Amino acid sequence: METIKVFMGMEIGRYDGYEFGKVLKTYKNGTKLVWFDHENDDDDEAWDELWIAQQDECFGWYGIDSKSVRANLGTFTQGWLTKSAEFDR
């Protein structure tokens, strides 16, 4: 899985405004759906880890937080409970 360095903004990124994320999907227009593994176990906040990144001449890859992200990763079973892994940000 491809890992890219994405500029998130000086207040967000841990490495001088950047984070390293795994590319989940590359769209036809070149933007990428990126997941940042912040070891967040809170299901309600898991969608915060999904970002759209676009290429930028100044920053390399730039995280766009103004675009909506909706991902359906299917269902999974945890013990006897079946959950749907859907995120909307």
Return mean pLDDT, the chain. Answer: 79
What is residue 32's predicted lDDT score, i.e. its pLDDT? 92
Q: CB–CB of 52/67 below 8 Å?
A: yes
- Output 4 or 10, whichever has higher pLDDT: 4
- Percentage of the chain surpassing pLDDT 90? 24
Instruction: Tell me, yes or no, if the pTM score tops 0.85.
Output: no
Which of 45, 88, 46 shows the shortest CA–CA distance to 67?
88
Domain boundaries, the chain: 3-88
Residues 31-48 pLDDT 10s: 999 988 766 555 555 556
